[in-house]
Amino acid sequence: MFLYNISRLIVIKDNKPIGIITEKDITRYLIDADKPINQIKVFEVMKSPLITAHLDDTIQNAAKTMLKHGISSLVIVENSELKGIVTKLDIAKFCATVKGRWHVRDYMTKNPIAVSPSDTIFKVINLMVNNNISRVVVTDANNKPIGIITLADIVRSSPEISFAKLKNTRIPKILRPLMLRSIIVSTMMSRDLVVIREDADLADAAQTMITYGISGLPVINSEGRLVGIITKTDITRAVSEF
């Protein structure tokens, strides 16, 4: 995933697709894992059976299927053979071509969950898991966004979070919250923040996500304060209504 900068892999057996494994699956598994990551097998984490689509399905129907099942991609299969994959990024690429139809304010999530730079990763992980979200905005005392922390950030730090730094020593599961409480948001958050105004065209939001390779944008008002967040899921919702 890191090598090719992708967030999911299709699992095959006998040259046939049987499952899928994502960054989110790995992160959530690692939270409760009681063994090192190099001892965890793909089949333990992957999701199966696959939810699939066909080559002649419409982009609108693909968007509806993703929303219905709460997934970010559909594997394209014909006659049990893997033909490709369509993701929310592909949905965003379509949205970026449709100007003047939607606005960010109409599809953004209002009053998004935010944390401060001094909060702990333990708190962030619990917010993500309990609210089924993949990113949390970091704000200052004036509710202005100054950073963001994502599942990808946490996955990249999984060896530090899940296991002791001492060679061949694992942290007992009961002690992990103590370690997580020692890591604060400011040490892991991305500071190169890209935001968008609430009155912007949704097509511009989609294009910004594509350009910067991100899946969500904090939404600000005219005063620069956080008022929402717009994600590829929101864009998918707009396209499903197209």
Predicted pLDDT at 53:
94
The one-letter amino acid at 212: Y
Predicted pLDDT at 181:
66
The CA distance from 93 to 38, in Å, is 35
Q: Taking phi first (over 0 means left), then psi (-120 to 50 degrees means alpha), and beta for anything else, what does residue 237 get?
A: alpha
The CA distance from 196 to 210, in Å, is 14
Predicted pLDDT at 176:
54
Structure-token match 């559909």, residue found: 74
Predicted pLDDT at 165:
36
Query: Comparing C-alpha atoms, which of 98, 128, 94, 113 is closest to residue 232?
Result: 94
SS (H, E, C) 94-133: HHCCCCCCCEHHHHCEECCCEECCCCEHHHHHHHHHHHCC
Burial class (CB in 10 A: 0-12, 13-18, 19+), 215: buried
**Binned average pLDDT, 10 residues per bin, the chain of 242 residues:** 88 92 81 76 92 94 95 91 94 96 96 94 85 91 94 63 39 51 84 95 98 94 96 96 88
Predicted pLDDT at 162:
43
Q: How many CB atoms lie within 10 A of CB 144?
A: 14
The one-letter amino acid at 37: I
Domains in the chain: ranges and CATH: 8-95 (3.10.580.10), 104-240 (3.10.580.10)
